[in-house]
Amino acid sequence: MDRIRIRGGNRLVGDIPISGAKNAALPLMVASLLTEEPLVLANVPHLADIAQMAEILGLLGVSIEQNGTASSAGAPGRTLTLTAKTIAQTTAPYDLVRKMRASFFVLGPLLARAGHAKVSLPGGCAIGPRPVDFHIQGLEALGARITLEDGYVIAEAPGGLKGGRYRFPHVSVGATENVMMAATLAKGTTVLENAALEPEIADLGACLIAMGAEIEGLGTRTLTIAGKPRLHGARHTVLPDRIETGTYAFAVAAAGGEVELIGARADTVGAIIPLLRSAGVSIGETNRGIKVARNGAHFTGFEVTTEPYPGFPTDLQAQLMALAATANGVSHITETIFENRFMHVPELTRLGAKIHVDGQSATVTGVQALHGAPVMATDLRASVGLVIAGLVAEGETIVSRIYHLDRGFEHIEEKLGRCGADIVRLKD
Ligand code: EPZ
């Protein structure tokens, strides 16, 4: 298994192209199930999760053509053309769904297009149990009959879905996407309340509208979707990845230096800009993206609670903790989205971080220096938190199990390396 070796201590100077957002691209690929015409998606990142989604969609009958290269060299990412001329099968098997939870998003579109779907329950994962009850209730509100059998969700809507009203009991990105996609082909109007506001929802909504859907309220908590008998093909460019943007911004804040994040969009990064500014890091918009700089002056600790957008994202919590590890003073970080998202703590501790966890809150007392050590990645965002810590640590840090990293960060060693980091992938 590949590992990453980092020799810490270098400042980061230069620019980094930001890739298309993984968490936008995944549901956008699924939207191809809603029409028999081609859906062309530009700026799709080159990631293991995208390949995994392509595999599951292929099984369901979507033909996928790929053009262009990864965005690492500054070129716009790849273009995928997805065509679901016919639905070849309506079952998404356990073996594929368990590998990536986003596969569960096929439930709504399959049901809306084919009248039935059988999709494996994804099960828990490293960051917590992650139930799918809101996806199921939302589709039931559109008239679906849903049963659970042998670990599968079996959904039927023989006469088609019908518009309905559903209030998500708690904000859910995936459930909003799943039910919104299904509602575009329902008969009549659907109202979804307490919908997620994450920029990936608006990106999916914009693509669905380009495919002929009628959706009002994108960017608000209430979505009104007037169902259509059919959608058509469209072309859409995936928005830049706000989590990748925040990750590199934190890397610069931690290691020091000055980096322009090319293509990053300040209007999608929510709480990150005010947070970094309050900690003493310089960050602002440029005509090419966002520039982050920390020259000399140290940064202070912070108090952060993860929340649905526009609050601080759970997907940046591990990276923030790595930053907090060498801040001036004490930081308090509370995780409210997932139950088990502090697995990076023992690994950061191995590098010399001082962290005390009490339930869902962590107190991080900044230390003068971290020291390199072998560490292990446990999930996608935790692993990149370890990379940030490695950039700061004195000596050599080896991060193993980096297949987690390859799920969500395109060419990370190349992107950091071009800014002066001493980081290499060790092939086994
Ligand atoms: C999306 O997951 C992202 N994944 C996650 O990114 C991200 O951490 C998460 O949103 C929160 O921002 C994709 O977009 C593919 P949720 P999702 O439904 O949709 C509970 C990464 O590293 N809940 O918004 O699965 C749930 O348990 C990943 O890229 C229910 O109780 O997250 C959680 O506590 C990891 N019932 C909360 O809601 C449901 O039916 C929010 O989860 C659905 C969710």
pLDDT at 147 over 60: yes
Q: What is the pTM of this model?
A: 0.97
List, edge to edge, every strand of the sheet that includes 152-156.
91-92, 116-120, 152-156, 145-149
The pLDDT of 14-35, averaged and rounded, is 98
- The architecture CATH gives domain 24-237: Alpha-beta prism (3.65)
pLDDT at 420 over 50: yes
Instruction: Spot the catalytic one: 13, 40, 114, 125.
Output: 125
From the CB of 133, is ligand 1 less than 6 Å away? yes
Active site (annotated) includes residue 125: yes
Atom of ligand 1 nearest to the CA of 170: 38
Instruction: Collect all residues with Cβ–Cβ distance below 8 Å to 323 and sequence separation of at least 6.
Output: 250, 253, 254, 299, 388
From the CB of 380, is ligand 1 less than 6 Å away? yes
Band (pLDDT 50/70/90 cuts) for residue 50 is very high
Report pLDDT digits (tens) over 227-282.
999 999 999 999 999 999 999 999 999 999 999 999 999 999 989 999 999 999 99
pLDDT at 73 over 60: no
From the CB of 172, is ligand 1 less than 6 Å away? yes
pLDDT at 86 over 90: yes
pLDDT at 315 over 50: yes
Report pLDDT digits (tens) over 130-143.
899 999 999 999 99
The pLDDT of 323-339, averaged and rounded, is 96
Domain 3-16+241-426 adopts which CATH fold? UDP-n-acetylglucosamine1-carboxyvinyl-transferase; Chain (3.65.10)
pLDDT at 76 over 70: no
H-helix or E-strand containing 91?
strand 91-92
Amino acid at position 50, single letter: I
Q: How far apart are CA 357 and CA 68, in angstroms?
A: 45
- Taking only Cα atoms into account, the Rg of the chain, rounded to an integer number of angstroms, comes to 21
Report pLDDT digits (tens) over 207-228.
999 999 999 999 999 999 999 9
- The DSSP line for 131-176 is --HHHHHHHHHTT-EEEEETTEEEEE-TT--B--EEE-SS--HHHH
Tell me the pLDDT of the chain averaged across its residues.
95
The pLDDT of 173-178, averaged and rounded, is 98
pLDDT at 70 over 90: no
Q: How far apart are CA 87 and CA 193, in angstroms?
A: 30
* The pLDDT value given to residue 75: 52
Domain layout of the chain by residue ranges: 3-16+241-426, 24-237
From the CB of 179, is ligand 1 less than 6 Å away? no
* The pLDDT value given to residue 428: 77
Nearest CA to ligand 1 atom 19: 174
In testing the pocket of ligand 1, which one of 140, 173, 336, 338 has its CB within 8 Å of the most ligand atoms? 173
Give me the phi and psi of 424, to 5 degrees please: -135, 155
Q: How far apart are CA 204 and CA 218, in angstroms?
A: 10
Q: Do the domains at 3-16+241-426 and 24-237 have one common CATH topology?
A: yes
In testing the pocket of ligand 1, which one of 28, 137, 172 has its CB within 8 Å of the most ligand atoms? 172
The pLDDT of 332-347, averaged and rounded, is 94
Give me the phi and psi of 116, to 5 degrees please: -155, 160
The pLDDT of 78-96, averaged and rounded, is 96
From the CB of 12, is ligand 1 less than 6 Å away? no
* The pLDDT value given to residue 67: 86
Nearest CA to ligand 1 atom 13: 23
Q: How far apart are CA 19 and CA 29, in angstroms?
A: 16
- The tokens for 251 are 């890397």
| Residue 50 and residue 29 in contact, taking contact as beta carbons nearer than 8 Å | yes
The pLDDT of 117-145, averaged and rounded, is 89
* The pLDDT value given to residue 364: 98
Give the Å distance between the CA of 214 and the centre of ligand 1: 25
